[in-house]
Every structure is written in structure tokens, then in C-alpha cells.
Amino acid sequence: AADYETFWKEYGTNIKLGVIEDSANRTRLAKLLRFISSISGEKQVSLAEYIERMKPKQENIYFIAAMSIDEAKKSPFVEN
């Protein structure tokens, strides 16, 4: 896990850009993406990990884009 965190810090921005710009490799690159969720705290999880722990009958995933966790938490769109 620590090795992937180091990898993500180094190449995460490029992977995100690749998902947007490289249509031939989009699906493969998407598997490398990591996200912070309201449940995981500061631990980043893959989309597959997030989906695995979704509640039964949960059909939607809501997200917010922010420069930091604190900024996201202060958004008026986040329930407290």
C-alpha cells in the first residue's frame, strides 16, 4: 500500500490526464485511479473498493472536486 501511495504521488496527475485524453487506454488507466471518500478518511481507495462497500440498493455515487479534504468538507453541498 505504501508503495502505491508513493507511485500515486508521483504519477497520479498523469494518470488522471491519461484517463481523459487517451481513449485507447482509458479503461486500463481508470483501474489505477484512487479517491478519498467520506468513509475512508485520508486513505485513498480504488473505484472497485468503493463499489464493494456500497450499501445495498445504493445506486448513485456522489462526488465533489476540491483542492483539499478541508475544502471539500466545507462545501455547502456536503451534508454534516
- Give the pLDDT band of residue 61 (cuts 50, 70, 90): very high
| Three-point CA angle 30, 9, 80, nearest 5° | 75
- Rounded to whole angstroms, the Cα distance separating 42 from 24 reads 31
The predicted structure's pLDDT at residue 73? 87
Instruction: For residue 21, give the 3-state DSSP assignment.
Output: helix
- Rounded to whole angstroms, the Cα distance separating 24 from 44 reads 25
Q: Is residue 45 over pLDDT 70? A: yes
- pTM here is 0.74
What is the set of domains in the chain, with CATH numbers?
A: 2-73 (3.40.50.11260)
Instruction: For residue 35, give the 3-state DSSP assignment.
Output: strand
Which residues lie across from 44 on neighbouring strands? 36
Instruction: For residue 52, give the 3-state DSSP assignment.
Output: helix
